[in-house]
């Protein structure tokens, strides 16, 4: 079959291909489960997962879990992002501060954040604080070092131009450095947000009363693979939404960088 | 306006890595003058400019502007870099307004002066465009307008057309010459292009590398009423060839 040019063009559109990729896996899943090749207990079909999901939704569990997890992620990540910005900028602009902090941060960055869970539980108990702290620990150092790098790549011409135009001190930071690094900062946040989601689930698997990760570990106990799938898909969807949100923000706020 | 560069030397590095990049540079620049420093790469000509701009400090010697020693950058010395110096997130007009708003001038004044200087460089229609939407030549004209908007006493041009295509370069040289004639600005141009220097500058200093120093100075007296014609005229070509020969012999002496 010879495809007409418009058809070929629409098929090469990234969105069309992206949806096609997801559909392929979905159809394969449906085929495998409906053929009866696999025990439903191990791999429930799309229908069963949908039912489990709507059941959880009607009971209000799904929303409550999602809200609990999202809140932890946002709280921990906001503290991390908020502190990483000034510290990253300070490290990127000031050599002594950079020399003082960079080895320390590079060291801690390589300590796996989940390894802090036992300590955090000993220090802060089983409430919200240890989970928020875990997300903070797991993302703060990456955020800071990536922002520091962004600052280091501000072209010296841009700063020197401002100096020769009579600028000095803080305005250089707020009117040259900050706007220049804004796109990279947003991208840094977008990328590290993914680890924040990993960590919140890990934290909830260990200890929590509610949350998407908690629901998954409960489902495991009762061999409810359909509910595990619900959890996985919802986590994926929320992550995707956050990702798209950051991309949207970047397109709106930093159109010059595209 | 009186810019005085007196016996300036500059070295970078410490101890055994210490490297002398400029040796005993002296010259004077007065109001309305257009001066050029010509040299190959490594002759330290950009360093001279950075010293005058106050972005670096001389290791020895002094630089005075109207009797006051240059110690730091300031808007009395406008600077145009070779490239990458427009703020990519600001429109052409916002770029031109940048220095004025840094100085905290009032809004009406900023708007009027921005419009005026965009017009001076012939870009009134491009006011709302982002740098990435402008050609290389247009970008440099915005950079020049931005430097002029804060009314510097001297305009420092560091290879302003070095990154442009030859044809655009030529029209930009004509543009700069017209700008100099109409506004009476004072300019110091850094270039490796002898032709560019001879076309535009009344005084040309030839610089030799390692360490950078002025080895030859010429006062150029040519009829600049028509630059296109001047480029191919006999006296111009002879002068250019003479200076090119001097530059070549400098390079040769290093081999």
pLDDT in tens, B108-134: 999 999 999 999 888 999 999 999 999
A-chain residues near B144 (CB < 8 A): none
Residue A87: pLDDT over 90? yes
How far is it, in rounded angstroms, from Cα A202 to Cα B2?
A: 69
**CATH architecture of structural domain A46-257:** Orthogonal Bundle (1.10)
Strands B154-158 and B2-12, bridge-based pairing: unpaired
Tally Cβ neighbours within 10 Å of residue B124.
Answer: 14
> Which residues have a Cβ under 8 Å from the Cβ of A21 and sit 6 or more positions away?
none
Q: Say if residues A155 and A176 touch (Cβ distance below 8 Å).
A: no
How far is CA A188 from each of CA A45, A129, A150, A176, rounded to the nearest angstrom? Answer: 37, 24, 9, 19
CA nearest to B129 within chain A: A256
Tell me whether residues A164 and B53 touch, CB distance under 8 A: yes
How far is it, in rounded angstroms, from Cα A171 to Cα A157?
A: 16
Mean pLDDT along residues A179-204: 93
Q: Which of A153, A156, A166, A255 to mutate to test the interface with B (most CBs of B within 10 A)?
A: A166
Closest in A164, A171, A256 to B88, CB measured: A256
How far is it, in rounded angstroms, from Cα B255 to Cα B243?
A: 19
- pLDDT tens by residue, A41-79: 889 999 999 999 999 999 999 999 999 999 999 999 999
Written as six digits, the tokens of A113 are 């954040």
Residue B255: pLDDT over 50? no
CA angle in degrees (0–180, nearest 5) for B245-B246-B252:
85
- pLDDT category at B163 given cuts 50, 70, 90 is confident
Closest in A155, A182, A256 to B84, CB measured: A155
Q: Which of A160, A164, A182 to mutate to test the interface with B (most CBs of B within 10 A)?
A: A164
- Helix A212-221 × helix A225-253 angle, to 10°: 160
CA nearest to A183 within chain B: B89
Task: Look at residues B31, B4, B17 and name the one whose alpha carbon lies nearest to residue B154.
Answer: B31
A-chain residues near B97 (CB < 8 A): none
- The residues pairing with B27 across neighbouring beta strands, listed in sequence order, are B5
Tally Cβ neighbours within 10 Å of residue B111.
Answer: 14
What is the Cα gyration radius of chain B?
A: 18
Q: What is this structure's pTM?
A: 0.84
What is the model's pLDDT at position A6? 65
- pLDDT category at A216 given cuts 50, 70, 90 is very high
Closest in A160, A161, A179 to B89, CB measured: A179
Return the SS3 of B235.
helix
How far is it, in rounded angstroms, from Cα B78 to Cα B99?
A: 10
Where are chain A's structural domains?
5-34, 46-257
Cis previous bond, B107, omega within 30: no
Written as six digits, the tokens of A112 are 């796996």
Closest in B75, B87, B143 to A166, CB measured: B75
Residue A1: pLDDT over 60? no
What is the model's pLDDT at position A7? 66
- Residue B25 belongs to what H/E stretch? strand B19-30
Indicate the burial class of B13 (C-beta count within 10 angstroms; 0-12, 13-18, 19 or more). Answer: exposed
């Amino acid at each position: 079959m010879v495809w007409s040019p418009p058809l070929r063009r629409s098929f090469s559109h990234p969105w069309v291909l992206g949806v096609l990729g997801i559909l392929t896996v979905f159809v394969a899943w449906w085929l495998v489960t409906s053929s009866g090749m696999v025990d439903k207990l191990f791999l429930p079909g799309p229908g069963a997962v949908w039912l489990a999901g709507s059941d959880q939704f009607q009971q209000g569990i799904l929303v409550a879990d999602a809200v609990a997890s999202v809140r932890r992620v946002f709280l921990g990540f906001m503290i991390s992002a908020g502190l990483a910005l000034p510290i990253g900028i300070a490290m990127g602009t000031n050599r002594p501060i950079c020399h003082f902090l960079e080895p320390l941060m590079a060291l801690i960055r390589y300590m796996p954040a989940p390894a802090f869970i036992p300590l955090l539980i000993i220090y802060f108990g089983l409430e919200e604080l240890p989970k928020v702290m875990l997300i903070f620990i797991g993302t703060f150092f990456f955020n800071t070092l990536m922002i520091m790098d962004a600052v280091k790549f501000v072209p010296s011409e841009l700063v020197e131009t401002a100096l020769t135009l009579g600028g000095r001190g803080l305005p250089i930071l707020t009117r040259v450095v900050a706007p220049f690094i804004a796109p990279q900062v947003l991208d840094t946040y977008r990328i590290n947000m993914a680890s924040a989601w990993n960590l919140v689930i890990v934290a909830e698997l260990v200890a929590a009363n509610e949350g998407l990760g908690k629901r998954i570990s409960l489902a495991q106990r009762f061999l409810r693979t359909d509910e595990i799938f619900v959890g996985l898909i919802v986590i994926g969807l929320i992550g995707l939404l956050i990702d798209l949100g950051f991309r949207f923000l970047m397109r709106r706020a930093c159109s010059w960088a595209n | 306006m009186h810019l005085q560069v007196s016996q300036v030397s500059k070295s970078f590095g410490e101890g055994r890595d210490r490297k002398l990049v400029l040796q005993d540079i002296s010259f004077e620049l007065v109001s309305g003058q257009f001066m050029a420093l010509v040299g190959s790469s490594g002759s330290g000509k950009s360093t001279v400019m950075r010293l005058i701009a106050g972005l670096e400090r001389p290791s020895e010697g002094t630089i005075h502007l109207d009797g006051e020693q240059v110690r730091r950058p300031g808007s009395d010395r406008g600077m145009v870099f070779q490239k990458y110096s427009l703020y990519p997130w600001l429109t052409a007009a916002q770029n031109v307004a940048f220095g004025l708003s840094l100085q905290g001038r009032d809004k009406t004044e900023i708007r009027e002066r921005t419009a005026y200087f965009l017009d001076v460089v012939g870009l009134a229609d491009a006011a709302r465009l982002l740098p990435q939407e402008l050609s290389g030549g247009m970008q440099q004209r915005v950079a020049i307008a931005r430097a002029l908007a804060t009314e510097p006493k001297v305009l420092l041009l560091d290879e302003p057309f070095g990154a442009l295509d030859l044809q655009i370069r030529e029209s930009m040289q004509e543009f700069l010459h017209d700008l100099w004639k109409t506004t009476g600005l004072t300019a110091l141009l850094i270039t490796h292009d002898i032709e560019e220097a001879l076309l535009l500058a009344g005084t040309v200093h030839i610089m030799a590398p390692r360490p950078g120093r002025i080895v030859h100075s010429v006062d150029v007296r040519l009829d600049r009423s028509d630059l296109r014609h001047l480029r191919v005229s006999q006296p111009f070509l002879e002068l250019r060839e003479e200076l090119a020969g001097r530059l070549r012999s400098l390079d040769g002496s290093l081999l």
